[in-house]
Chain A
């Protein structure tokens, strides 16, 4: 039993480390995908192409209150330049 427990703990440690490393490397990324197999030319990611609807951005989910946008205030809103 202890052997299985130690295997579970080790697996979780490695997974945590790997995901931490991924976060560090991709945090400033341009949401491109790291492709590492073979020498074939790398195409764009599938969800950047096509006519299918684009999924909602992650910050539209959740129940937390939405912070005010920077241009909010009490001053009257000017017309758009065009």
Chain B
């Protein structure tokens, strides 16, 4: 049963995701951040589809359950491509685009093969198990990749505010979801909190991206801190 709070957060999330695409369209970075916008646009479409099926068949119906998990796998793949786009932006000046693409595609293939190896002994609903497994595994790969990108930003002394804002918000988003999952198992009596935390994180991500697209220009840079005066 979904209460008024659940409906409100759901609607708010969908509206914010649509706002990210609209902001990106009007502020210009649609092409540069194409994969991020593709993920948000897909989220809007998926939310619309989920709402239609939810209202027709209900939360516990097979239709909604299958649509939810299959569409979630598509969204996770889109999120992976969004990360791929961010890597390309961060490393664009190093001229390693081709190597990055090879690395990301190898990782994607490796994850699909690993997921298959986990579920291939399932006797029933193998495809569903596979879809859910690949979604989970890609999620954790995305989590690790975001932290690697975060470390790369620090190492490369990246100063583009918009890129930093997007990567940090993505790191927060992944971390909140992973932490709420782990804490849900540690403290099962607070299930209500752990149930709503990932959903709230789903609202946080588009807000952070709207802020990044509206507040900062693509060339906006972090002001350098105090410069060290080196005596000669």
Contact = CB atoms under 8 A, between A and B. Distances in A.
A35 B199 CA distance: 9
A11 B202 contact: no
B198 interface: yes
B94 interface: no
B181 A25 contact: yes
Nearest to A52: B124
B195 to A, nearest CB: 7
A14 B136 contact: no
Interface in A12-69: 12, 14-15, 17-19, 21-22, 25-26, 28-30, 32-47, 49-50, 52-56, 61
Contacts of B9: 39
Contact of A44 (B65, B76, B182): B65
B115 to A, nearest CB: 10
B13 interface: yes
A10 B106 CA distance: 10
A42 B136 contact: no
A39 B68 CA distance: 11
Contact of B140 (A22, A35, A40, A54): A22
What's the interface size class on B, roughly?
A: 35 or more
Contact of B144 (A17, A42, A47): A17
Contact of A37 (B72, B178, B184): B72
A49 B57 CA distance: 15
B103 A43 contact: no
B23 interface: no
Interface of B: 2, 6, 9-10, 12-14, 17, 43, 46-47, 50-51, 54, 59-60, 62, 64-66, 68-69, 72, 75-76, 79, 99, 102-103, 106-107, 110-111, 114, 121-125, 128-129, 132, 135-137, 139-141, 143-145, 148, 173-174, 177-178, 181-182, 184-186, 188, 195, 198-199, 201-203
